[in-house]
């Protein structure tokens, strides 16, 4: 399955819907965190107009979100 091309802002909105919250920002990168029982998920999202497919896939894996979810946005 081919991943869609999305921006960093669109990904941040998707992660917010999944329960992640912004915990910091440095330049064009936003740190996001989600607490789960026994685990804390943390990722960094570059706020670029277009995310590289490898970057997007890596962030989704860190966040434990199936890539099918990105198609539902």
pLDDT by residue for the chain (73 residues), tens digit each? Answer: 688 899 999 999 999 999 999 999 999 999 999 999 999 999 999 999 999 999 999 999 999 999 888 876 5
**For the whole model, what pTM was predicted?**
0.89
How far, in Å, CA of 40 to CA of 38, rounded?
7
List C-alpha distances in Å: 57 to 17, 37, 45, 47, 73. 18, 24, 12, 15, 15
Of the candidates 49, 8, 47, 53, the residue with the CA atom closest to the CA atom of residue 27 = 47
User: At residue 15, what are phi and psi to the nearest 5 degrees?
Assistant: -65, -35
- What domains sit in the chain, N to C, each tagged with a CATH number? 8-20+27-72 (3.30.920)
């Amino acid at each position: 399955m081919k991943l869609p091309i999305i921006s960093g802002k669109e990904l941040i909105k998707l992660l917010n819907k999944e329960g992640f919250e912004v915990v910091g920002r440095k330049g064009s990168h936003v740190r996001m965190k989600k607490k789960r029982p026994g685990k804390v998920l943390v990722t960094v999202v570059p706020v670029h107009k277009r995310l590289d497919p490898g970057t997007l896939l890596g962030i989704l894996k860190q966040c434990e979100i199936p890539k099918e979810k990105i198609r539902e946005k």
